[in-house]
Structure 1
């Protein structure tokens, strides 16, 4: 009898495990299908995501104007124009000083190359001019052999730039419409959904919006810290173009990994051609220290507070996103993880039973006791 009961329990446990495994497999298949569809529609999804992120950055000003009697279309138009002016000002702040000192920088580059050549000709390398000329000739020959590949790379780069411009224009138009009609989205969504979804989905959407705003604000604060620390270091060392480099550091903070590498490379190059090798190495060490503090201390702490995520979760999310989708995955990993946490917390709130107060009757309030 006992053996039969044990066998029945084993079969029931196996059936339950099989059902759970089948459910998990179905969830994984649906997730794979959703990601595949997302990849097919990426040309539309990516401008939508960028537009949402820009809207979270500009919505506080639009909300302020709307609360002071401005019509939604006028407030959205003014905020969009101001955003364009600020973005153009940032580009000018970087480009104008660089263009004005381009001649000095070019002379510095030539002088730096001559110094490097003279250093290579001395001990311990003792590289002669004939060896340098031979290396140069071989490099030229390799370039000639790979002209076709270079044309392909150039075409890919032009296509990437064009796609980036199209994405920026679409994101800007979407930002305007989000600023104009955003507050009407949740009431419209409530009217479209049936049953309990009309309550649950708008609540989750509102919480997700707050989470995206916290992500953008935290990223901007981290970029500001990078710009201040690196800018102070460059100013102390007497490196030219301090303000453009600081602005470039702040803007590049919104693009993980690649943005920091690009801004750091530009700063080191300018320090090399203007102040020499020693200051360039000091700038490189400064950038490495600041980037390590940002990636391992500032960013996890600030984002974990603003997004309700632990610092370790932020680090793991960035690593996973980068391994799955490169730079875009690193950029979107933290907000996606935060949105998943929002959905999970809401589900947990709805599924958990409210605690009973001690000493209360188990029957619902107002119920009549059976006679």
Structure 2
């Protein structure tokens, strides 16, 4: 037996003796108060020989050496740390696996968002007597047709406006040269011409030196483009196919998937899944309204200022609004650059466009979203930025597009699970009290 264990055993024996003597004194005092004269036998601490041998290992297990020698905060922190590491590793593995099947993941995610936008209209038609399959296919064709018509019109306007925009750029560059010659810099025209000629010679030399590599790069780009077109049409077909079935059989698909779960968690997951889908539908509806408001007011400002490419820029603002915060900033910056480069009073027009973009974004952030988004959909700006960043790094632009809707689904699902748990506890308490238990759906609605 080591010295530490012997010392521990003697300390325990001493503690037992100290606990016995006060007990004997209390017994004697009680007998004196009752008038009893019989002597109280003295109880002394037992000696080492009278005590049974102590199993130090058993004592250590009983007293839990971890609690004795490890601070509570450190033990709790360590328990949280390894659990968070396991969860983080699992999320990293899932994202890594998804990044290798993007040709399937991205179309399915986009079809999910399209179904969230189109399914309410299909449900309205079904409630009014339409066949489920017919309503789903008509809504899908109508949605795709509207997108194709709008994009065709915008592309045609863009092609028609490019020559005028290029002329405006040339005029702007000529004015910039005149300002450099007659402005505070006082540069000589010959110096500017020599500088531009030098740049042109360097560009020409670079092209001549790297012509072979450029040809090879062009061939590679052409092959990549053809392969990309193949992936694009494959993904487009998969997206439309999945959207149709999500619109028509979304509830059946979810019931089938949750049917594989244990019976104890089946009902709660079905309820939470329905709530998550409702959250996504409400989120997409709100995003469409916000994007339309942004596009209307910013596009109106661009049209009044006679900014080139105002219609394509308006479309870009509308599409950029589907990526919260980041998309609106990027599309607004593009509009400011076009106003700066492609107009006569470029600086003032750019300042005015920047003011319009900032004003519209402030109205959107402080008025529209708090009114249109309910408590179940509302997301913190920091969570949005982190989700967009993570989605962009993992899946590019499409990842940034689907990151916030996925976060909205998770938020709505977790809130629904909490409501379901609280409602079930209330129902169990009511049943135990002998009263009629409240229906689970009504109780969950009351908790919201």
**Which of 199, 203, 214 is matched with 1:135 structurally?**
199
Between 338-347 and 253-262, report the one with greater CA deviation: 253-262
Give the superposition deviation at 1:220.
1.5
**Which of 308, 313, 334 is matched with 1:265 structurally?**
334
Name the counterpart of 1:181.
249
Q: Aligned equivalents of 2:279 and 2:208: distance in 1?
A: 52
The correspondence of residues 225-304 of structure 1 with structure 2, limited to 5 A, is 225-239=293-307, 241-255=309-323, 257=326, 260-262=329-331, 264-265=333-334, 268-269=337-338, 272-286=341-355, 288-290=357-359, 293=362, 297=366, 301=370
Name the counterpart of 2:400.
330
Per-residue CA deviation, residues 37-68 of structure 1 (Å, 9 max, x unaligned), is 22222221111100000111111211111112
Normalised to the residue count of structure 1, the TM-score between the two structures is 0.79
Q: Aligned equivalents of 2:392 and 2:314: distance in 1?
A: 29
**Which of 204, 211, 222 is matched with 2:272 structurally?**
204
Name the counterpart of 2:411.
341
Per-residue CA deviation, residues 76-95 of structure 1 (Å, 9 max, x unaligned), is 22112111210112112312
Give the superposition deviation at 1:212.
1.4
Give the superposition deviation at 1:10.
2.7
- Assess, with a 3 A threshold, how the Cα gap between structure 1 residues 200 and 355 changes in structure 2: closer, same or farther: closer
Mapped contact 1:226–1:249 kept (Cα < 8 A): yes
The structure having more radius of gyration, on CA atoms, is 2
Per-residue CA deviation, residues 154-200 of structure 1 (Å, 9 max, x unaligned), is 76566556544443332122111212222322343354433123212
- Assess, with a 3 A threshold, how the Cα gap between structure 1 residues 15 and 314 changes in structure 2: closer, same or farther: closer
**Which of 82, 88, 99 is matched with 2:142 structurally?**
82
Q: Aligned equivalents of 1:288 and 1:65: distance in 2?
A: 38
Q: Aligned equivalents of 1:104 and 1:315: distance in 2?
A: 39
- Assess, with a 3 A threshold, how the Cα gap between structure 1 residues 180 and 341 changes in structure 2: closer, same or farther: closer
Between 51-60 and 276-285, report the one with greater CA deviation: 276-285
Unaligned runs of 5+ in 1: 367-371
- Assess, with a 3 A threshold, how the Cα gap between structure 1 residues 75 and 244 changes in structure 2: closer, same or farther: same
Q: Does 1:35 align with 2:103?
A: no
The correspondence of residues 102-181 of structure 1 with structure 2, limited to 5 A, is 102-125=162-185, 126=187, 127-145=191-209, 148=213, 151=218, 163-181=231-249
Per-residue CA deviation, residues 283-338 of structure 1 (Å, 9 max, x unaligned), is 54236525753786468646863643343454444465367435444333322332
Per-residue CA deviation, residues 111-163 of structure 1 (Å, 9 max, x unaligned), is 33333333334433425201111112223334555553753667656655654
Mapped contact 1:222–1:294 kept (Cα < 8 A): no
Normalised to the residue count of structure 2, the TM-score between the two structures is 0.67
Q: Aligned equivalents of 1:323 and 1:61: distance in 2?
A: 31
2:342 aligned counterpart, secondary structure:
helix
- Assess, with a 3 A threshold, how the Cα gap between structure 1 residues 275 and 74 changes in structure 2: closer, same or farther: farther
Between 169-178 and 192-201, report the one with greater CA deviation: 192-201
Q: Over the residues paired in the alignment, what is the CA RMSD in angstroms?
A: 3.9
Between 31-40 and 21-30, report the one with greater CA deviation: 21-30
Per-residue CA deviation, residues 174-232 of structure 1 (Å, 9 max, x unaligned), is 11121222232234335443312321222221111112112212221221222122122
Mapped contact 1:62–1:179 kept (Cα < 8 A): yes
- Assess, with a 3 A threshold, how the Cα gap between structure 1 residues 62 and 297 changes in structure 2: closer, same or farther: same
Between 123-132 and 21-30, report the one with greater CA deviation: 21-30
Name the counterpart of 1:51.
111
Name the counterpart of 1:369.
none
**Which of 139, 143, 160 is matched with 1:100 structurally?**
160
